[in-house]
A and B are shown apart, each in its own frame.
Chain A
Amino acid sequence: MKILSFVCQKGGTSKTTTAINLAVEALSYGLEVVVIDLDPQVSACDWKDIRGDASPVVAATPVPHLERTLKAAEENGAELVIIDTAGRTNDAASAAARVADLIFVPVQPSLIDLKTVGATLEIIRLAGAKPTRALLARVKATGSRHEDTTAWLEAQGVEVCPITLGERVTYQDAYAQGLGVSEAEPSGKAAREIQEVYKYISMLLGLPTTRIVNNEEGRSPRKRVA
């Protein structure tokens, strides 16, 4: 079982959005996916409320119970756990960073976001300095701020995911329907960039890279294809 944690001390950087979309994307590779929601606002759980019975499983757990919940997930077949945390919650961020195989730090290309990166990196360092990647999210269609941000992060010694996520209403619309962008608009730009981020993560975590065909219900993958 692999654990991917989303940690950032700033709110509104697309932690939940990216977490649930990657979870949906991972389903299409046949993985048993669990999203653990450590955010007191339980945004991932709210999404799951809308989504209904379709995978992935989403669970909110108190921080002290995190390891117990992870153990239960592993013993019951979970292959990928994605942990979503809230901004400005040191306990949750530390716990999520400590148990992670890979940590993603979503960052918007803005000065206010970059100011919080240092605090986030310090939490990650204290939690054991697990492999970490910054992910530029909500990148505007015009301008080169994301390039400047990438250069700045790399100068701080932070590795940056080569794929960026754009500022797109598809993410909001998909959330409102309890879907991932790859379900709401499979041929859209948002779906494409989420697919690319999944491929990047799969390379780092050794996850499957072969997609499978969806069954008749559209959301529960069954058959692997080349």
Chain B
Amino acid sequence: MKKAGALASALRSSGATLPAAAAECVASPPKAEEAATTAKTLQPSRRETKAITVHFPEEVRRQLKALAGEQGRHVDDMVAEALNLLFVKYRRAEVAPRKVTK
């Protein structure tokens, strides 16, 4: 089996157009560049984060959003506060970052 680089070169020679990243495949582009390209596709506030999805009854969601509204804060910030309280209870680092107030 030949290397993918040779394959990519052969396909280019056949008249095919390879995406820029594939063209750079032969030269092995730095990983940081790849990560930056990936990051561009995400909303700025979501870069270097992962979603945590949980399901609760509708009233929990409503009350959480109302509380955030009363406090003038993001829901994410309220949840981060709750998670940090939980982490303290179980002697873990308070790693949930807080968001700036709306």
> Which A residues are within 8 Å of any B CB, using their own CB?
32, 34, 36, 42, 45-46, 48-53, 55-62, 65, 68-69, 71-73, 75-79, 176-178
Q: Which of A52, A58, A62 has the most CB of B within 10 A?
A: A52
Contact B11 A50 (CB under 8 A): no
Q: Contacts A49-B37, A57-B4, A176-B42; is A62 near B10 (CB within 8 Å)?
A: no
Contact of A53 among B28, B38, B42 (CB under 8 A): B28
Stretch at the interface among B17-25, B63-71, B79-87: B17-25
Residues on B facing A (Cβ under 8 Å): 1-2, 4, 6-8, 10-22, 24-25, 28-29, 31, 33-34, 37-38, 41-42
Q: How far is the CA of A169 from the CA of B20 in the complex (A)?
A: 27
Contact, CB under 8 Å: A36 / B25: no
Q: Are B7 and A77 in contact (CB under 8 A)?
A: yes
Closest to A48 in B: B19
The answer to whether B17 touches A61, judged by C-beta atoms less than 8 angstroms apart, is yes
Cα(A68)–Cα(B20), bound, Å: 21
Instruction: List 7 A–B pairs whose Cβ atoms lie within 8 Å, in order of A's numbering.
Output: A42-B19, A50-B41, A52-B33, A59-B18, A60-B16, A60-B17, A178-B34
Q: How far apart are the CA atoms of A71 and B37 in the complex, in Å? A: 32
CA of A62 to CA of B14 in the docked complex: distance in angstroms? Answer: 11
Smallest Cβ distance from B71 to chain A, in angstroms?
29
Contacts of A71 in B (CB 8 A): 14
Closest chain A residue to B8, Cβ basis: A57
CA distance in complex: A72, B21 (Å): 20
